[in-house]
Amino acid sequence: MAQQPRIGIIRPIRGAQNVTTTDLTPAVRADWPAVSSVGLGLFTLVASEFLPASTLPRIAADLGVSEGTAGQAVTATALVGALTAPTIAVLLPRADRRKVLIGLTTLAVVSNVLVAVAPSFWGLLAARLLLGAAIAGSWAFAIAVTSHLVPPDRLGRALTVVNTGTTVATVAAVPLGAYLGEVWGWRGVFWLAAAAGGAAVLAQVRWLPAVPPSGFPGLSTLFGTLRRPVLAVGLVAIALVAGGHFAAFTYLRPAAALVPGLSAGVLAALLLVYGVANVVGNLVAGPLADRRLTLLVLGVPLLIGASTWGFAAGSGSLALVFVAVFAWGVGFGAVPTTFQTWVARTEPDRLESASGLMIAVFQAAIAAGAFAGGLLVDHAGVRAALLAGGLSAVLGGATLATLRRR
């Protein structure tokens, strides 16, 4: 892989009148409270994204729609996110990124309040579109803002802090939302999400410093970034890894049926193991990203591929399935920090545009992977989805390996 440039940490020049005027002086000390406030905001956003899945039957019954229709609240959120991520920096080229992040977190609070009082499904769907924009915009700016808050050699660990909240939200939002939905009803769950978002807004107001734009965002910058060969190849690889994972993981429950005599209790334990492994993978990825990024970038796709193949091949043994699921969880838990750090080191001067493109590619890969996996499950069986998903992840790693020779 070609030698990667030093990560530039964007700092405002004192007395500058134009917010896009910046220098590349690295941060001397890590601002961990500010980093944590970014992570808290993303935690509330991601938890909100998955909440409809936890209370789907109640939402459908209350609003008079089918469960399949109610599930489109999640689909719409992801679709808007894919469209918003690469364009929000273009729409807000000169805005202080602190104000933008606070505004996006506030938008998520508004979305949850509107969902909680929605009189119809269409009102709920419109509110969820606001959340999609907030999530994608926050992700697109979070990497650039975090790089402003820590020295270059601490970026991996800082992204681990940011991603820990996301990982916990992904693991806990659905079961916790389901439990609270039984106690308070589905509208009460969204009121709670709005309150959590309000706490995140207060934390960001208190701790985040002013953060000027990274580079000079615009359509020319966006398209110019996309034409950079190393990043373009990397985005293809990220799509292969993410798409492969979701082609297999989306159908983990039917895949578990391959294990003879698997009870509901054992299935719950299997999902818990995956969730714990996700957290472990995220925590391990931070220090490794700071010291051994190339090893991590190449190793994570291979681990995901090997574990999905191991699940397919070892489904006759419960012990092997648990080992495969743990390895799978560790591998995918490391994905966000790994690829965010890689993008930051590859495109430090166009970090916002590059981050937005990565988020858009990732969201599109989720949809494409789940769709392709569904076709395989219907026409060739769930084992085929596991094998194909693993192959896609390995191909993603092989694609990244070609960059070492550039």
Domain membership of residue 141 (yes or no) is yes
Domain membership of residue 27 (yes or no) is yes
What is the percent of the chain where pLDDT is above 90? 38
CATH number at residue 254: 1.20.1250.20
Domain membership of residue 383 (yes or no) is yes
* Statement to judge: residues 193 and 328 lie in one domain: no
* Statement to judge: residues 173 and 301 lie in one domain: no
**What is the pLDDT of the chain when averaged over all its residues?**
83
Domain membership of residue 6 (yes or no) is no
Taking alpha carbons only, the member of 51, 39, 211, 42 closest to residue 135 is 42
- Final residue of a domain: which of 207, 234, 256? 207
Domain membership of residue 4 (yes or no) is no
* Statement to judge: residues 182 and 252 lie in one domain: no
* Statement to judge: residues 372 and 258 lie in one domain: yes
Q: How many domains does the chain have?
A: 2
pLDDT classification of 354: cutoffs 50, 70, 90: confident
* Statement to judge: residues 145 and 238 lie in one domain: no
Domain membership of residue 399 (yes or no) is yes
* Statement to judge: residues 326 and 266 lie in one domain: yes
Domain membership of residue 113 (yes or no) is yes
- Final residue of a domain: which of 207, 230, 263? 207
Tokens of 199: 């706490």
- Final residue of a domain: which of 155, 186, 207? 207
What's the predicted TM-score (pTM) here? 0.73
Question: Quick check: 50 pLDDT over 80?
Answer: no
* Statement to judge: residues 31 and 166 lie in one domain: yes
Note the pLDDT of residue 274.
Answer: 87
**Containing domain of residue 49, as a range?**
11-207
Return the HEC string of the chain.
CCCCCCCCCCEECCCCCCCCCEECCCCCCCCHHHHHHHHHHHHHHHHHHHHHHHCHHHHHHHHCCCHHHHCHHHHHHHHHHHHHCCCHHHHCCCCCHHHHHHHHHHHHHHHHHHHHCCCCHHHHHHHHHHHHHHHHHHHHHHHHHHHHHCCHHHHHHHHHHHHHHHHHHHHHHHHHHHHHHHHHHHHHHHHHHHHHHHHHHHHHHHHCCCCCCCCCCCHHHHHHHHCCHHHHHHHHHHHHHHHHHHHHHCCHHHHHCCCCCCCHHHHHHHHHHHHHHHHHHHHHHHHHHHHCHHHHHHHHHHHHHHHHHHHHHCCCCHHHHHHHHHHHHHHHHCHHHHHHHHHHHHCHHHHHHHHHHHHHHHHHHHHHHHHHHHHHHHHHCHHHHHHHHHHHHHHHHHHHHHHHHC
* Statement to judge: residues 156 and 223 lie in one domain: no
Domain membership of residue 214 (yes or no) is no
Question: Quick check: 212 pLDDT over 60?
Answer: yes
* Statement to judge: residues 15 and 88 lie in one domain: yes
* Statement to judge: residues 117 and 257 lie in one domain: no
* Statement to judge: residues 266 and 333 lie in one domain: yes
* Statement to judge: residues 169 and 78 lie in one domain: yes
Tell me the pLDDT tens digit for each residue of 151-197.
Answer: 888 888 898 898 888 888 877 776 788 788 888 999 999 999 999 99
- Of the segments 159-163, 203-207, 348-352, which one has the largest average pLDDT value? 203-207
End-to-end CA distance of the chain: 6
